[in-house]
């Protein structure tokens, strides 16, 4: 069989044998601290052929060792062993805010197939080292044979993909696989020990995010509340970057006080840019300021923020983790209640509004005094930026919004304290 019939399939299904009933070799299997592993065998007969599916479980791992054997009888047809069917509901997509994707590792490199990339069509891979499905946030599903095999991806009309291996009659006599369905957590995936960590995203931002997650986990050990741990992480980062922030605020305040002088220079030397530049540099040297210092804290913290964004968005430890009051799950938006508008339920999330308000207040504190057209443009951006952020980030997980909001609050506090302490410049 070279095609997969339309429909959703469970892992280890053989569509060609869909009408068969498999019998277990035991009524139940209990895995515990005392009984750390166990095997369950399912068998079915078709004509003179015996089909055996053997599952070996280990309580130290998420993964399952799976062995398929088809003995007796003769067939010239290939069979299809399903790894998984990609069929997320619309509710799941809304929850994740990320498109699920299928990953095929072939030729020493992964190829990603987003949902909808294969519709009413099939894609054949001659030698697939593994088939994987990443929900884009928390869950990774993975089927890996002990050696590369031909694979087949089949997309239905909706664009959902079924991934399967194609087995020749000779290979189907005895073939081993490793199946994993669990968190996308790098430490857990690495512990499985079958070389599947390469599926996960990599790069400097991801590595930094994993390091920050270790710090977050440390705080959680001290106070077992992930929301409190996020707040403590925010405080730690603010303490680390406070010297840079203070330098930035000092530079901004000095630049504000120098604005009248700089405007006079621009008028005085409007026909001589070189002389104006020399005079401006002279003023900068006199007051010991570097105009670029105002941007330094932001530039340094951008990689940190991106890393935290990626970490908090995919950290499975936040899934189902409550904080306090109405925030019952830090992996979801913090909906306080819903309103029905024209037959559609709209969630009212509180943290995005708090984030927007704190951003607005922070913008007003850091805005330089100006006049004319520049003042109008500055006023417009002061209000427009918080509104845009609130709209674009409205459905982000509450854990991430909590970090952003608390960061804004401490930034406001920093500005107030620094402004009073800097005194007259």
* CATH code, 160: 2.70.98.90
215 and 194 within one domain: no
Q: How many CB atoms lie within 10 A of CB 190?
A: 13
Residue 212 included in any domain = yes
| 191 lies in the same domain as 216 | no
- On whether residue 1 sits in a domain, the answer given is no
- The H-or-E segment that residue 359 falls in is helix 350-366
pLDDT attached to residue 1: 46
Considering the domain boundaries, does residue 147 fall inside one? yes
Q: How many residues does the chain have?
A: 425
Which of these three, 153, 169, 199, is where a domain ends?
A: 199
% of the chain beyond a pLDDT of 70? 78
Q: Domain ends where: 179, 199, 219?
A: 199
Residues 188, 251 share a domain: no
Confidence of residue 288 (pLDDT cuts 50, 70, 90): low
Q: 419: closest CA among 354, 362, 357, 358? A: 362
Residues near 311 by beta carbon (within 8 Å), at least 6 away in sequence: 209, 210, 212, 213, 216
Residue 128 and residue 64 share a domain: yes
Same domain, 172 and 212: no
pLDDT at 246: 73
pTM given for the model = 0.70
Query: Is 408 in the same domain as 326?
Result: yes
> Same structural domain for residues 123 and 74?
yes
Domain annotation covers residue 10? no
**The tokens of 144 are what?**
């890996």
The residue-averaged pLDDT of 46-58 equals 84
Does 116 have pLDDT greater than 50?
yes
CB 218 within 8 A of CB 388: no
- Are 231 and 187 contained in the same domain? no
Mean pLDDT value of segment 284-305? 69
Domain that holds residue 67: 15-199
Q: Of 199, 224, 255, which one is at a domain's C-terminal end?
A: 199
Do 263 and 216 have their domain in common? yes
- Examine the domain organization and report whether 20 and 130 are in the same domain: yes
- Decide if 139 contacts 132 (C-beta within 8 A): no
pLDDT(294) > 70 = no
pLDDT tens readout for residues 325-369: 888 888 888 888 877 777 777 878 888 888 888 888 877 776 654
Residue 398 lies in a domain: yes
What total of structural domains would you count in the chain?
2
How far apart are alpha carbons 105 and 111 in whole angstroms? 6
Distances (CA, A) of 191 to 61, 115, 116, 187: 8, 29, 32, 6
Kindly indicate the confidence band of residue 287, based on its pLDDT and cuts at 50, 70 and 90: low
Do 135 and 223 lie in one domain? The reply is no
Per-residue pLDDT at 136 exceeds 90 = no
Q: Is residue 302 part of a domain?
A: yes
pLDDT digits (tens, 9 = 90+) for 13-26: 777 676 778 888 88
Closest Cα to residue 382, out of 402, 400, 362? 362
Residue 76 placed within a domain: yes
Pair (28, 166) in one structural domain? yes
Judge whether 316 lies within some domain. yes
Q: Which helix or strand (DSSP H or E) is residue 336 part of?
A: strand 335-341
C-alpha distances in Å from residue 349, one per residue of 340, 345, 360: 14, 13, 18
| pLDDT classification of 50: cutoffs 50, 70, 90 | confident
């Amino acid at each position: 069989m070279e095609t997969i019939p339309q429909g959703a399939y469970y892992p280890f299904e053989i569509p060609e044998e869909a009408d068969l009933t498999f019998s277990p070799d035991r009524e139940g299997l209990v895995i515990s601290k005392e009984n750390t592993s166990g095997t369950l065998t399912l068998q079915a007969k078709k004509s003179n052929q015996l089909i055996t599916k053997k599952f070996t479980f280990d309580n130290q791992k998420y993964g399952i060792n799976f062995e398929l054997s088809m003995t007796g009888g003769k067939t010239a047809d290939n069979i299809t062993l399903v790894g998984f069917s990609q069929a997320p509901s619309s509710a799941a997509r809304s929850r994740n805010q990320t498109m699920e994707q299928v990953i095929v590792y072939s030729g020493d490199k992964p190829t990603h197939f987003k949902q909808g990339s294969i519709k009413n069509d099939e894609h054949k891979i001659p030698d697939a080292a593994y088939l994987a499905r990443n929900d884009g946030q928390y869950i990774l599903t993975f089927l890996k044979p002990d050696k590369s095999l031909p694979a087949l991806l089949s997309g239905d009309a909706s664009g959902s993909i079924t991934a399967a291996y194609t087995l020749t009659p000779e290979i189907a006599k005895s073939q081993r696989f490793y199946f994993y369905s669990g968190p996308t957590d790098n430490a857990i995936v690495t512990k499985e020990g079958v070389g599947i960590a390469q599926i996960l995203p990599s790069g400097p931002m991801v590595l930094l995010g994993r390091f920050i997650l270790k710090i977050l986990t440390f705080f959680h050990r001290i106070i077992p509340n992930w929301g409190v741990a996020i707040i403590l992480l925010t405080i730690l980062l603010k303490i680390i970057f406070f010297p840079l922030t203070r330098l930035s605020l000092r530079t901004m305040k000095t630049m504000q006080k120098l604005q009248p002088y700089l405007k006079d220079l621009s008028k005085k030397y409007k026909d001589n840019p070189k002389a104006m530049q020399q005079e401006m540099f002279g003023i900068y040297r006199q007051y010991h300021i570097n105009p670029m210092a105002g941007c330094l804290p932001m530039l340094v913290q951008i990689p940190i923020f991106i890393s935290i964004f990626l970490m908090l968005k995919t950290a499975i430890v936040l899934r189902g983790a409550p904080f306090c009051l109405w925030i019952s799950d830090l992996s979801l938006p913090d909906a306080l209640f819903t309103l029905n508008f024209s037959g559609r339920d709209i969630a009212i999330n509180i943290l995005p509004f708090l984030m927007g308000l704190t951003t607005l207040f922070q913008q007003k504190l850091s805005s330089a005094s100006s006049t004319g057209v520049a003042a109008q443009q500055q006023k417009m951006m002061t209000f427009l930026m918080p509104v845009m952020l609130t709209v674009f980030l409205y459905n982000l997980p509450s854990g991430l919004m909590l970090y952003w909001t608390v960061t804004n609050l401490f930034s406001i506090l920093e500005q107030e304290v620094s402004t009073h302490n800097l005194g007259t410049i």
